[in-house]
Amino acid sequence: METQISRLQLMYLMIWVILGTGIVLLPLAIAQFTIQDGWMVPLFFFGGTIVAAIVCVVFIRTFPNQSLANGLETAFGPWLGRLIGVWMIIFFFVFSAMLLRELTVFVEVTSLPKTPAYLISATILVPIAYGVFQGVEVVGRLAEFLTPVALMIGVILVVLSFQNADFSQIQPVLAHGWTPVLRASVLPATSFAFELIGVLQFVKSIKGGKTLGRDLLYVGASLTVFGVLVEMLIISVLGPSITYLSLPVAEVIRGIRIGEFIQRFDTIYVMGVIATMVLKISVFLYAMSSAMQDTFRLSTFRNVVWPNGIAIWTASILFFHNSPDLHEFMVYVTPAYFSFTLVLMPIFAVLTFRLKKVFGSQ
């Protein structure tokens, strides 16, 4: 019997799937194209969330009680379906390696600048692999524990940050037209929003999977409101200097002062980012192991969790040699890569299966 997680745990996991890296990467990526209009970009993220929810609903209705790898095999047959399943495994592998490298760079920049990257990533990966080995329920419970704590701390930090805000820096609105906003919206509306479709791989582990589409819309709406608020705060506090900062959110939090003795709240931000990125990597390491179980008919996903962890650790160093390579891959490659793998392939599987049923009945 599949170990199951609740709807609430799933929604928490999906929130951190987006925010785990989004709170670090998106403000910097948006600032490359637009500054004062950057607060509009999260609205386009919600459009991508709607697409992700539609894909998930259509897939679940076409392949009930089947994971993403199972549905691909059902649609394309045992040989071609497994071959496409291998493509999906490679996708989860590359994506997990990218996430691990991003977390390693973050820890290196903020805390351990003189520690070798391979030691940082190995230290991070051991608890991640152990948690995934215990099952998706453990990851869901960790998300259920962290979310209320993170929500409380996040609200406090946002409120305290308003003391340094100058909302005149948001104006004039659309001074350069819609083009910079649309260019800045490509990454959040595709790569980040489409990450939610990865939940199809462990849809059999979700209690009440029929409400998945609605749950994703709830998650998308909540993150959109949060994103607009955070972007407005970042722009109003930092202004044009966002372009030259590697961690804009940390700079906003670093400016908080209460009296003469309470300051440097950015330490809390660093700890929170590490915890949430660990959750995100855990989700996709589990998805990769689960896809291998379905594709290669393994008795349990636990047989491949540790080997997958070692492979991801190796790839994170070999594939992404430095921070500029990592940033270029995330900003310029992932939109097309994610759109093809997570949107077009499931939709093509649905169309293929339904056409086979139509022609088969005739």
Centroid of chain to Cα 250: 19
- Share of residues in the chain with pLDDT > 70 (%): 96
> In this structure, are residues 308 and 90 in contact, taking their beta carbons and an 8 Å threshold?
no
Tell me the residue type at 310.
I
In angstroms, the CA 241 to CA 80 distance is 51
The three-point CA angle 302-308-309 to 5° equals 100
Q: What is the pLDDT of residue 3?
A: 60
pLDDT tens digits along 111-157: 888 889 889 999 999 999 999 999 888 888 888 888 888 888 888 88
The CA distance from 283 to 16, in Å, is 10
pLDDT digits (tens, 9 = 90+) for 324-338: 888 888 888 999 999
**Would the pLDDT of 207 be above 80?**
no
